[in-house]
């Protein structure tokens, strides 16, 4: 019923693009009984990435320090930022 997202053309809807960024970047349940969402392909909790940014760390610094893909970290942050900005604008 659902086609593989990688085989579909990019959506023109920015909200759908943001959700795509998040779904490609975050694993909400990396291990059974785990409540921490992590960056896909790593054990890095996404909350830790946000904490590092709150301490003025750059995305490139976070990626280097924790051996993460800078593009994946950026996709996560951009997707999250877009969702929050649009959610706040609708209220």
In this predicted structure, the answer to whether residue 18 has a pLDDT above a threshold of 80 is: no
Provide the residue ranges of all domains of the chain, joining segments of one domain with +.
Answer: 15-89
**pTM of the predicted protein model:** 0.70
Enter the DSSP assignment of 41: T
The mean pLDDT of 29-56, rounded to a whole number, is 88
H/E stretch holding 27 reads strand 26-27
pLDDT-derived band of residue 90, with 50, 70 and 90 as boundaries?
low
Calpha distance 60→63 (Å, rounded):
5
């Amino acid at each position: 019923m659902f086609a593989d997202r990688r085989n579909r053309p990019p959506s023109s809807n920015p909200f759908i693009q943001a959700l795509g960024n998040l779904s490609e970047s975050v694993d909400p349940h990396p291990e059974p009984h785990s409540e921490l969402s992590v960056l896909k392909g790593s054990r890095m909790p996404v909350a830790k990435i946000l904490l590092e940014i709150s301490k003025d760390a750059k995305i490139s610094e976070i990626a280097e320090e924790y051996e993460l893909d800078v593009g994946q970290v950026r996709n996560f942050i951009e997707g999250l930022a877009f969702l929050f900005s649009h959610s706040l604008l609708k209220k």
